[in-house]
Amino acid sequence: MSEPTINRRDLLLATGLSTASLALAAVAGATNRENQKGKSVAGLRHAPLKTVRVGFIGVGARGSGHVYSLLRIEGVEIKAICDPHLPSANAAVKQCTNLGRPAPTLYTNGDKDYLNMVKRDDIDIVVIATPWVTHAPMSIAAMRAGKHAFVEVPMATTVDDLWDMVDTSEQTQRHCMMLENVCYGREELMVLNMVRQGVLGELLHGEGAYIHDLRGQMNEVGHGTGSWRTLEYTKRNGNLYPTHGLGPVAQYMNINRGDRFDFMSSVSSNSRVRETYAKEHYPVGHPHHGLKFVCGDINTSIIRTVNGKTLMVQWDEQLPRPYNRLNLIQGTKGVWGGFPDRLALDGSADDWTEGDGLKKVYDQYEHPLFKRMGEESKRNGGHGGMDFLMWWRTIYCLRNGEPLDQDVYEGASWSVVGPLSEKSVKNRGRSVDFPDFTRGNWKTTAPLGIVS
């Protein structure tokens, strides 16, 4: 039989379709690692620690707050501080000595001195509050040295780095927890309790955001959050900071604990106000005056879960808007919406319960953890007490040999919205698949309970 003939038009069509298919596959396909090098750390327990001995990497604006909180929790010793910025390191030591605690050992010899600190045998956990791109290597080094890693948000900024952190946690059987403090806010804990009691019915949709005008951080040059965070907006276009609004909603929806994120689409607006702000506030010659910003001023992403729930996640750190995390969760029987707080239930006499009317709601559904530690948390921690409450609960778990409320899979799944949004934005909002960091264990992992 003779070979079939293919004319030029058919060849071009076939080639075009193949190219398009490959392009779509490149967008849709998320990197999965099927070969597990360790075992799952879902529900990971360790022997109780009578005293939790802490080493810090980074004690600037965020890290110093963690020092403050941990110094006020029973059963904690701060053994070492690593920060090449001497004023920050010395200020952290002074926090300890002012309370009559021993001075921690300092590691200030450059950006890699943390590798010497994590070798110590008198440290149980390492707290990492450094620029985003350093989170993965520092967490991995801590876990490989036998320490539990507690890392600021986002956990990492690339899919590969997140997988490396998951793999290392499984290999070493060490905790790697992202410090998502908003999960310990009074409102978020109360809503979690309502959801667990079925008040809102079957969950269908959620909305989370981080809308916070942070242009003032651009004043920081040479040192401080703005000195490195400002440059992120010149290199990336997507949702650069997804976890504060997303984390609590993901917990309501049992993400990685009976359901998981399946795919998402993301779009960004034009980039305008940071460049304008820099030109108006900084003179020619200032490091930020002539920067070219590529990150859209606001990003909106839509996520669908495997079980059919939907989420909207927004991010905006530059437009002149009131602070907002949205914190909306919609079920078949009602909806909670934050900023301002409102509750609507099926069959209620009024469309909304809000303002003073919510006191009865809080009285009925206040989370037991906040009932126990809420007032103390407000006295001893930032962000309305959520920082202290996060650490108090975490130290409690470590001292009692209990699983942590957040594991490495949750930190990875919430943080991966960042790099996935960049891919989707770059490809005209086409959907991208989420990696399954749990490798299927989301199907059998128990939901987060209401701890008392």
Q: Are residues 117 and 242 in the same domain?
A: no
Asked if residues 299 and 429 have their Cβ atoms less than 8 Å apart, the reply is: no
Q: Which residue has the tokens 């450059």?
A: 110
Last residue of a domain, one of 179, 213, 239: 179
For strand 342-345 and strand 353-354, is the pairing parallel, antiparallel, or unpaired?
Answer: antiparallel
Asked if residues 70 and 391 have their Cβ atoms less than 8 Å apart, the reply is: yes
173, 155, 175: which is closest to 413 by C-alpha?
155
Residue 383 inside a domain? The answer is no
pLDDT given at position 30: 58
Residue 12 inside a domain? The answer is no
Burial string for 210-243 (b: 16+ CB within 10 Å, else e) reads bbbbbbebbebeeebebbbbbebbeebbbbbbbb
Q: Which residue has the tokens 């030591």?
A: 93
pLDDT > 70 fraction of the chain, expressed in percent and rounded:
93
pLDDT given at position 283: 96
Q: Are residues 216 and 357 in the same domain?
A: yes
Q: Helices 368-380 and 386-400 meet at what angle, rounded to 10?
A: 120
DSSP per-residue letters across 73-100? STTEEEEEEE-S-HHHHHHHHHHHHHTT
Q: Are residues 151 and 191 in the same domain?
A: no
Last residue of a domain, one of 179, 207, 232: 179
User: How buried is 308 (Cβ within 10 angstroms: 0-12 exposed, 13-18 middle, 19+ buried)?
Assistant: exposed
- The model's pLDDT over 112-152, given as tens digits with 9 standing for 90+, comes to 999 999 999 999 999 999 999 999 999 999 999 999 999 99
- Between the alpha carbon of residue 156 and those of residues 27, 275, 282, 374, the distances in Å are 20, 26, 31, 30
Q: Are residues 171 and 195 in the same domain?
A: no
Q: Are residues 218 and 350 in the same domain?
A: yes
Q: Are residues 71 and 119 in the same domain?
A: yes
Q: Are residues 169 and 251 in the same domain?
A: no
DSSP structure class, residue 259: B
CATH of the domain at 219: 3.30.360.10
pLDDT given at position 35: 81
Residue type, 82: C
CATH of the domain at 97: 3.40.50.720
- Which residues constitute the domain of residue 106? 52-179
Q: Are residues 209 and 159 in the same domain?
A: no
Q: What's the structural domain count of the chain?
A: 2
User: Is a pLDDT exceeding 70 seen at residue 17?
Assistant: no
User: Is a pLDDT exceeding 90 seen at residue 83?
Assistant: yes
What is the three-class DSSP state of 172? helix
Last residue of a domain, one of 115, 148, 179: 179
Residue 384 inside a domain? The answer is no
272 Cβ neighbours under 8 A, 6+ residues apart? 297
Residue 376 inside a domain? The answer is no
Q: Does the pTM of the predicted model rise above 0.75? A: yes
d(CA 123, CA 383): 27
Q: Which residue has the tokens 């490149």?
A: 26
Residue 333 inside a domain? The answer is yes
d(CA 437, CA 31): 10
Residue 172 inside a domain? The answer is yes
Residue 225 inside a domain? The answer is yes
Q: Are residues 158 and 235 in the same domain?
A: no
Q: Are residues 172 and 240 in the same domain?
A: no
Q: Are residues 161 and 245 in the same domain?
A: no
d(CA 309, CA 30): 20
pLDDT given at position 19: 41
pLDDT given at position 349: 62
Residue 147 inside a domain? The answer is yes
pLDDT given at position 451: 84
List of E strands, 124-202: 125-128, 148-151, 176-178
Q: Are residues 130 and 194 in the same domain?
A: no
- The model's pLDDT over 18-57, given as tens digits with 9 standing for 90+, comes to 444 444 444 544 578 878 889 999 999 999 999 999 999 9
